[in-house]
Structure 1
């Protein structure tokens, strides 16, 4: 039996060069999301990973918010980042005694572009990893892609949402993650579901 009051979030974010036009909003949205989630009741750990041509861990299994600095560069190594991090997060959680493992695991991917530089994983390989974690451990996978990049999530077997790649749209994408996580964590029912809109509006106003 796992710990029902413990949620783990792995957040995999795009750092490629195209993020330069929304750097401040993406950075601010991530920092606001983490600060708000750590302020809620219940145990939370966060793994934050950024990717471009390279894949870098910002924090792993952190128990407190981090101040994230986004420095856009490189290309979009999406599939490798997803495949590698699913395995790493799985290994992290497997190292915890079962009674202390998180009862809920969220794996969220945010990208404004399309895969263009992976060499280790293909869509079907990532999909197999996703399906394995859902079947065995009930992980929740959410892919959030800008406009026509959103189809990639479906190809990986993830729930998919689309957002507008403007400054406002990017910040609102992270606000939508926060709202959905807040509702998910507040519902103690074993049947609680993490739910995001299929199409995230550019602005709530």
Structure 2
């Protein structure tokens, strides 16, 4: 593994209901990316948007070359193929990493998922299959998964697909709380990227997740 190198996967819901927080999602995402650009250390970044179709917007791009989202590149529509989006990206990211020499692979893979509602249109992957895949990547390769969700119980849904409760956050789908959840996620990703390999290993084996009780309390009305 290459010391100091992190890869971030961001999988973001663009189903029709995201229209209610469109501006805040675009702004929050752009702030997230901007903060990652300021963080020391090598970083590549992938963005995938999903509704009832799945679009990989860019893949393993140097963080400094990641463009901002706009109203032209993030257009809410369709339904919510959450499981298919997660499954597709786990496979695609894993395949990409397999093609990289071991000494050049990132020492940390951080997989962020954001949605504003329940799964309702996946066809390829079941809940149990996604849990199996996430557990495998977490246990064998020490990937970190973060689940951010509005209008559902993020901790319950995240746990059902293998993401620890401490790394899931429920937020209220309004401007203030949408911005807040992006901010907390970005702060955690920056902190994780800055960890030494030893500290990251200790963090990954600990019971605590990405967010404190206080963090979570601030994400809802």
Q: TM-score, normalised by structure 2?
A: 0.87
Runs of 4+ in 1 over 4 A off after TM superposition: none
Give the structure 1 partner of residue 206 of structure 2: none
Instruction: Encode CA deviations 1:117-158: one digit per residue, 9 max, x unaligned.
Output: 011111100011111111221101111111424122111101
Find the counterpart in structure 2 of residue 176 from structure 1: 184
1:200 is displaced (CA, Å) by 5.3
Aligned residues: 202
1:197–1:15 Cα change, 3 Å: farther
Q: Which residue of 1 aligns with 2:19?
A: 20
Tell me the CA shift for residue 4 of structure 1. 2.1
Structure 2 CA distance, aligned partners of 1:80 and 1:200? 30
SS of corresponding position for 1:72: coil
**Displacement of 1:31:** 1.0
Give the conservation status (yes or no) of the 8 Å contact 1:54–1:77.
yes
Structure 2 residue aligned with 1:143: 147
Structure 1: distance between partners of 2:52 and 2:29: 21
1:65 aligns to 2:66 (yes or no): yes
After superposing the two structures, state which structure 1 stretch, 183-192 or 3-12, moved more: 183-192
Note if contact 1:127-1:156 (Cα within 8 Å) is conserved in structure 2.
Answer: yes
1:89 and 2:90 aligned: no
Q: Taking structure 1 as reference, are residues 140 and 75 closer, same or farther at Cα in structure 2, changes over 3 Å only?
A: same
The structure in which a higher percent of residues are helix is: 2
Secondary structure of the corresponding residue to residue 148 of structure 1: coil
Q: Which of 189, 203, 212 pairs up with 1:197?
A: 212
> Contact conserved, 1:164 with 1:200, CA < 8 A, in 2?
no
RMSD (Å), alpha carbons: 1.5
Note if contact 2:170-2:219 (Cα within 8 Å) is conserved in structure 1: no
Three-state SS of the structure 1 residue aligned to 2:199 is coil
**Unpaired segments ≥5 residues, structure 2:** 204-208
Residues 1:85 and 1:200: Cα distance change in structure 2 (over 3 Å): farther
Q: 2:217 and 2:181 mapped to 1: Cα distance?
A: 6
Moved more, 83-92 or 189-198: 189-198
Q: Is contact 1:161-1:197 (8 Å) kept?
A: no
